[in-house]
Amino acid sequence: MELPKLILASGSPRRAEILGFVGWEFEKRVADVDETPFEDESPEIYVERLAREKSVAVAGEYPGSIVLGADTTVVIDGMIVGKPEDAEDAARMIRDLSGRWHDVVTGVALTRSRAGEDRVMSAIQTTGVKFREMTDREIDFLVRFGEPMDKAGAYAVQAQAALFIEEIRGDYWNVVGLPVSLVYELVKKF
């Protein structure tokens, strides 16, 4: 089986690592898009829209190539939890997640540009994650050593946060940052 080369329209080191883990050849090209959610935009529509915008933004530079865009957010009580602004914000986010279920929602989009026309296919993946109840000391530990600043929800499941995760329902790789099985299914349809 041969996987087609992808253009990864993302600056996420985790997405690049996941593609590398499965042996997917890719080139990285960061897409420059405004990631501000629209008013009253659901988390699912938000991440799928951003994934599509990222892949389309890069596709014109790589005619005929398959461009992969993705965006991930954490959702608690129906609200988008983005990346923390500072350590205090990270602590607040982790405190909100402590002892509760939340969803990790990722939008994935593939775009191929040919003769000035874009073919775009997209989907979303949702995974449930439950943190065990955490003490203030544990939250402080995670903020100081878990490198929360560039991560939706202020944690990385594959790092120190693993100490506090009680259960995952769904695709683990989605929580890391890219539901690679969903990407594969989309590529097969593409």
Residue whose structure tokens are 């995670």: 142
- Residue 118 designated active-site: no
Burial of residue 68, with CB atoms counted within 10 A of its CB: 0-12 exposed, 13-18 middle, 19 or more buried: buried
Q: How far apart are CA 95 and CA 7, in angstroms?
A: 37
Q: Of 32, 34, 40, 71, which residue is the catalytic one?
A: 71
CA separation (Å) from 99 to 69, 138, 143, 164, 175? 32, 12, 17, 9, 17
Q: How far apart are CA 91 and CA 76, in angstroms?
A: 15
- Identify the H or E element spanning 4: none
DSSP 141-182: HHHHHS--TTSGGG--TTTGGGGGEEEEES-HHHHHT--HHH
- Identify the H or E element spanning 103: strand 101-114
Which of the residues are catalytic? 71
